[in-house]
Amino acid sequence: MTEETTAAAAEAPAAEPQFSIQRIYLKDLSFETPQGPSVFTKQWQPKVNQDLSSKSTKVEEGVFEVSLRLTITVSSDDETIYLIEVEQAGLFTIQGFADQQLTQVLNTTCPSLLFPYAREAIDNILTKGSFPPLMIPPINFDALFASAVQQAAAKAEGEAESEETQH
């Protein structure tokens, strides 16, 4: 092998994308039953409202913290039965991805890995709060990301068109 081939071979593994989980942890948890014990003496028809968000922060080169916040509000007759908010987070080593791929990994792969942990935390807290289990359906983070990308593109296109008409 020549020196050039050896140098190229040495660089090739470094350019290969790397993804690994360093740690998954519960970052924040809140559980409220505003009506106290009286909630257990009433008949109620629950309405479930689910809110979901995620964010990512670069901790150091190639290491990102991704957090998934899941808020569940269950109410009946305009009264809140319980409110639970879980922020499940993880530290991920992510290297060798192009910017667009990195954005997709941070917004789809990482939240997909965190979601089952958040769902389990919610189930555990509800059981300890003496409430029935809540079957939270799976979430397709790839579809959510694709939709957000389409909305951002449509918004950018709309803004570009409005600027053209103003000139």
Whether the per-residue pLDDT at 124 is higher than 70: the answer is yes
Q: Does 71 fall in a domain?
A: yes
Q: Does 102 fall in a domain?
A: yes
Measured between alpha carbons, how far apart are the two ends of the chain, in Å? 61
Q: Does 39 fall in a domain?
A: yes
Radius of gyration of the chain (CA): 22
| pLDDT tens digits for range 57-69 | 999 999 999 999 9
Q: So what's the pLDDT on residue 61?
A: 94
Q: Does 3 fall in a domain?
A: no
Q: So what's the pLDDT on residue 65?
A: 98
The residue with tokens 């807290």 is 125
CATH of the domain at 81: 3.10.420.10
Q: In whole angstroms, what is the distance from residue 118 CA to residue 70 CA?
A: 7
| pLDDT tens digits for range 37-63 | 888 898 888 899 999 999 999 999 999
- pTM across the whole model: 0.80
Structural domain count of the chain = 1
Phi, psi at 71, each rounded to 5°: -115, 125
The range of the structural domain enclosing residue 52 comes to: 17-166
Q: Residues for the chain: how many in total?
A: 167
| pLDDT tens digits for range 6-40 | 444 444 455 689 999 999 999 999 999 998 888 88
The stretch 142-152 carries a mean pLDDT of 88
Q: In whole angstroms, what is the distance from residue 165 CA to residue 158 CA?
A: 11
